[in-house]
Structures are given as C-alpha cells and as structure tokens.
Amino acid sequence: MTDRILLVDDEPDLQQLVLFNLKEAGFDAEGVGTGADGLAAAARERPQVVVLDLMLPDLPGTEVCRRMRQDPQLSDVGILMLTARGDEYDRILGFEVGADDYVVKPFSVRELVLRVRALVRRAKERAAARTSTEPGQRLKWRGLEVDLVRHRVYVDSAELTLRPLEFKLISVLLENPGRVFTRAHLLEEVWGTSGDIHTRTVDTHVRRLREKLGTYGEAVETVHSVGYRLRESND
C-alpha cells in the first residue's frame, strides 16, 4: 500500500510544488488549504505523515496539531511543521503541541521529502513495535530504560511518552555508549538524511529530549564543537 501524505498549506504554488515532488517520490499525496479541511482529511484518510503549515487562514497550525494529537486515531501520525519563522519559540511551541519535526521556509524540497520519508519509516517502526510479541531488548542508563522492540521508555520504572524521533535519538545514543556523534551523523542515523542539510534541528530535539528525561537528561552529553554522546553512567 502506498504511504499517504497530507499537506495542509494555503499557498497554491507551494502546494503544487510540494505535492508534485511527494508524488514523484512515490507517495500518495493530497493537499488542502485550511486547518478545518486538514483535520477532516486526516480523519478520513489516516495519513502516515501530515505536513502542516504554521500560518493558516482559519486555525493556527499549532492548534491543528494539538487537535490531531487529542484524536486517538491520529495520535501516532507523523507531523512535520512548516514555518516561515526561524524563531526558537515557534519551534519549541510546535514540539510542545506534538509536532515531530519542522522545516523553515524557504526550504529545499529535497530536504522536505527526506524528512517526510524519515517520519514514514518511524511511523511504520512504531506500529510494528506495538503489535510485537517478542520479548523486548532493553538498554539501560542508571534508572533510564529503553525497550527497543516495543518502542517504550521508562524512567525509574514509570513509562515516559516520547515522539518517534526522540525515541530514535535516545536509542542511538544508548546503543553506542561512549561514541561521539556529530550532528551530521545524527541526521543520518536518526532522520535518515545526509549531512549537507541544516543541523540546528538536532540541537532543538536534543534540548526537548533532555527536558522530557528530567533528571536523566544529563545522559545526553554535549561534546563541545563536535556533537553529542551518552555520558558514562558512573560519572
């Protein structure tokens, strides 16, 4: 079955360009121009990924994202936010309401397609994990545990909810203790994109991951001028 992508953006030229490239990449892509139509189309079509503009004529993209996350049928859909703003506040707000990733306008269409492809892959992995009957292989760092098979994370035995890219990010670090990952390497390992794409998104995701991990956020150690690694648990 072809992977379904929903684009919610009110700029006709941009919508035409993005839809053309998504279809060329093998996706079943549909575009709508308002938040209300986006919510209706998402409920009807159940896409794997929604590409959602922050500025829409009827509803803010953040509100559309929030409503999708409140719908049990759409809670696992990958959401890629499009924004004309490069402000840190907008990116953090998008992640707060449940976005998985963001791209700042003007953007490379190639970059957008790669980000969409990565979110589709994460959605499939998450769906497969939820139906798995295999015993989960767990990685541990102090009181932090990651179940690689069932895609679950525990902090002091309490389950923690992470978005798919956040789960992949902490999993990669725990699977490679002591290895230093540059931002470009993390883009390849986590996002499935090449290192010539802007790397600021890595820093934003690391910051959000640390916040969600609370006292265990220190597990992700910054290696200045290089990237990130898993901190030694006995530090």
Half-sphere exposure of 139 (CA within 13 A, CB side): 20
21 and 120 in a single domain? The answer is yes
Assign residue 187 the CATH number of its domain.
1.10.10.10
Q: What is the arithmetic mean of pLDDT over 106-111?
A: 88
What digits encode the pLDDT tens for the residues 51-89? 999 999 999 999 999 999 999 888 889 999 998 766 666
Same domain as 92, residue 152: no
Q: Which domain holds residue 226?
A: 133-230
Q: Which residue has the higher pLDDT, 47 or 191?
A: 47
Spatial distance between the Cα atoms of 33 and 205, rounded to a whole number of angstroms? 28
The mean-pLDDT minimum among 25-34, 46-55, 145-154 falls in 145-154
Q: Which of 94, 129, 164 is the last residue of a domain?
A: 129
Q: Examine the pLDDT at 142 and tell me if it is beyond 80.
A: yes
Note the pLDDT of residue 87.
64
Domain shared by 20 and 108, yes or no: yes
Q: 111 and 197 in contact (C-beta within 8 Å)?
A: yes
Paired sense of beta strands 78-83 and 49-53, if any: parallel
- Whether 235 maps to a domain, the answer reads no
In a domain, 143, yes or no: yes
Tokens of 213: 């991990």
For residues 36 and 150, the model is more confident at 36
Residue 160 bridge partners (DSSP): 153
Q: How many domains does the chain have?
A: 2
Q: Domain for residue 206, yes or no?
A: yes
- Mark whether 171 and 105 lie in a shared domain: no
Domain at 83, CATH number? 3.40.50.2300
Do residues 109 and 145 both lie within one domain?
no
Residue at 171 is within a domain: yes
19 and 123 fall within a common domain: yes
Residues 99 and 190 in one domain: no
Confidence at residue 199, expressed as pLDDT on a 0 to 100 scale: 65
**Whether residue 143 sits in one domain with residue 222:** yes
Do 193 and 157 lie in one domain? The reply is yes
The pLDDT tens digits for 192-217 are 766 555 567 788 889 889 999 999 99
Instruction: Examine residue 112 and state whether it is found in any structural domain, yes or no.
Output: yes
Rounded to 10 deg, the angle between the 200-213 and 88-96 helix axes is: 50
Intra-chain end-to-end CA distance of the chain, in Å: 48
Query: Do 60 and 36 belong together in one domain?
Result: yes
Q: Is the peptide bond before 12 cis (omega within 30 degrees of 0)?
A: no
According to the model, what pLDDT value does residue 93 have? 77
Instruction: Give the per-residue pLDDT at 75.
Output: 80
In this structure, the answer to whether residues 148 and 111 fall within a common structural domain is no
Q: How many CB atoms lie within 10 A of CB 227?
A: 20
Do both 22 and 52 map to the same domain? yes
Q: How many CB atoms lie within 10 A of CB 15?
A: 19
Residue where one domain finishes, among candidates 129, 161, 185: 129
- 30: pLDDT strictly greater than 90: yes
pTM more than 0.85: no
In a domain, 64, yes or no: yes
